[in-house]
Chain A
């Protein structure tokens, strides 16, 4: 009884150690990639949110007049999707 338990334990350990080895190897590659990615991102140069927001607002102000979905058409005739008016001949 005692012997068979030890045997099972030993067998499990062998099994585990080989899968652990595989896991360690893939984990190492994965972890290396994760850390390298973080190193790259940490090296990025950043600007303040206030500056970023200012530039976004500047772009919007400069292009607002061409934004038909925002400001509409000066005349509905220039809307390519206006309802067409049909002439009916009696």
Chain B
């Protein structure tokens, strides 16, 4: 094909893309018959959130960057800028393992579903898996599974210990086989750093969501590697994404100081959680087990608790002395863990 016909071809594609965009917006708008807050108007207001600070986990020497709950609802893994990964007993606040990583800025860590493996990685561009045991030195049994061409920002085990899904500064996500370290599928579609990923809450689910510095939220099919849906709306980096426990919506937190809710079946944004007084970016979001509460950790050291239906802030948690960088509701929904640049983790319940 010579350059003239190629240009014509491109022009045709651009024209088609433009008309598809208009069509998409029209279709979405047609079905936008009501606002979430107006439906929720008749619900009772949440008056009293009895969540208190219960534990402070001290031991990291620098910023806490990521954390995850063990499926036993008791242990927490955390990773830090100091190059350490720590396994905590959150009941007693004891450190059960402290592992030194080959890199500083360990930006991601995750528990495997069995609770016997943890994975972590960061500026080393790798994800390393550690089998946990009381007997021998955990670090002697470590295994490098995945390598990206830029930093690894997030990782999660999709429903089994055998595979791991990663997100990276190289703007891709990837699925790896833990045993062989083989790349099973890559997910190309973002045009900037992937910051966060989350799996759809079904055991047979093959869907996950990713948030990126390109301001986009993408929904992926893990089997085909294809992007099936995309959500625009945020004005800045999307730092955190989390599926609603019902599985039909995703909550997001962004540097634009808002959190949002996107519905997969309505194929659009259905709520914005913002206040004039909140001007700092949201780094981490999670939902309570029913999905009624949205917890969001901000750069102004606070955790805001939003009523997802009425779109109002119902409470805020103050305790950290620096940015709240990560935040997770425990698997049974009894507690919330938060990690901060103040080098501590806190448990609220």
B24 to A42, Cβ gap below 8 A?
yes
- Is A24 an interface residue, CB under 8 A from the partner? yes
- Is A86 an interface residue, CB under 8 A from the partner? no
- Per-position 1/0 for B1-42, Cβ under 8 A of A: 001001101100110110011011001100111111001100
Interface of A is mostly: helix
A56 to B334, Cβ gap below 8 A?
no
- Is B246 an interface residue, CB under 8 A from the partner? yes
Query: What residues of A have a CB within 8 angstroms of the CB of B245 in the complex?
Result: 59, 63
B263 to A49, Cβ gap below 8 A?
yes
How many Å lie between the Cα of A28 and that of B6 in the bound state? 7
Size category, B interface: 35 or more
- Is B309 an interface residue, CB under 8 A from the partner? yes
Query: What residues of A have a CB within 8 angstroms of the CB of B333 in the complex?
Result: 66-69
Query: What residues of B have a CB within 8 angstroms of the CB of A31 in the complex?
Result: 10, 13-14, 17
Query: What residues of B have a CB within 8 angstroms of the CB of A41 in the complex?
Result: 20, 24, 228-230, 267
Nearest-CB distance from A70 to chain B (Å)?
5
How many Å lie between the Cα of A12 and that of B229 in the bound state? 43
A69 to B248, Cβ gap below 8 A?
no
How many Å lie between the Cα of A46 and that of B34 in the bound state? 15
B10 to A49, Cβ gap below 8 A?
no
Give the segment of B126-134, B164-172, B288-296 that binds chain A.
B288-296
**Do A80 and B335 contact each other (CB < 8 Å), given the known contacts A31-B17, A52-B270?**
yes
List A residues 31-78 near B (Cβ within 8 Å).
31-32, 34-35, 37-42, 44, 46-57, 59-60, 62-64, 66-70, 72-73
**Do A38 and B21 contact each other (CB < 8 Å), given the known contacts A21-B3, A67-B290?**
yes
How many Å lie between the Cα of A59 and that of B343 in the bound state? 36
A57 to B309, Cβ gap below 8 A?
yes
Q: Which residue of A lies closest to B332 (CB)?
A: A68
A50 to B24, Cβ gap below 8 A?
no
- Is B249 an interface residue, CB under 8 A from the partner? yes
Q: Which of A52, A57, A79 has the most CB of B within 10 A?
A: A52
A70 to B10, Cβ gap below 8 A?
no
A49 to B33, Cβ gap below 8 A?
yes
B268 to A67, Cβ gap below 8 A?
no
B266 to A47, Cβ gap below 8 A?
yes
Q: Which residue of A lies closest to B293 (CB)?
A: A70
Q: Which residue of B lies closest to A78 (CB)?
A: B334
Nearest-CB distance from A77 to chain B (Å)?
13
Of the residues A39, A40, A50, A66, contact of B34 by C-beta under 8 Å: A50
Give the segment of B49-57, B79-87, B137-145, B179-187 that binds chain A.
B49-57
- Is B274 an interface residue, CB under 8 A from the partner? no
Q: Which B residues are closer than 8 A to A by beta carbons?
A: 3, 6-7, 9-10, 13-14, 16-17, 20-21, 23-24, 27-28, 31-36, 39-40, 43, 46, 48-51, 54-55, 73-74, 90-91, 189, 226-230, 244-246, 248-249, 263, 265-268, 270, 288-293, 308-309, 329, 332-336, 347, 349
